Amino acid sequence: MTPFFVLIKCQLGKAYDVANAIANAEIASEIYSIAGDHDLLVKVYVETGTDIGHFVNQNVHAIDGIRDTRTIITFKAF
């Protein structure tokens, strides 16, 4: 499995709706509300070899209430 993170900026007042939609879609292992430039931090695992860009485009960007995302691809966990 390959882990990666998605930082999400939501439309004003929509962070909880977006978090719930991601949880209901069962595409993330963990979803955190955060402070700062983004509203949510989402940890996702996909099968090795999965096109992460395509996965984010199809599964994350399709959720209503998202303004912007930043995907962080990881290399190694310590």
Q: Which domain covers residue 52, as residue numbers?
A: 2-73
> 50 falls in which pLDDT band (50, 70, 90)?
very high
Measure Cα distances from 50 to 19, 34, 58, 64, 67 in Å: 23, 27, 12, 24, 24
- Tens of pLDDT, residues 18-46: 999 999 999 999 999 999 999 999 999 99
The confidence score (pLDDT) of residue 78 equals 93
The CATH number assigned to the domain holding 37 equals 3.30.70.920
Residue 31 is assigned to a structural domain of this protein: yes
Q: Taking the model in full, what pTM does it have?
A: 0.94
pLDDT (mean) for 7-15 = 98
* pLDDT given for residue 33 in this prediction: 98
What is the spatial distance between Cα 29 and Cα 43, in angstroms, rounded to a whole number?
A: 6
16 located within any domain:
yes
Distance between the two ends of the chain, CA-based, in angstroms?
Answer: 16
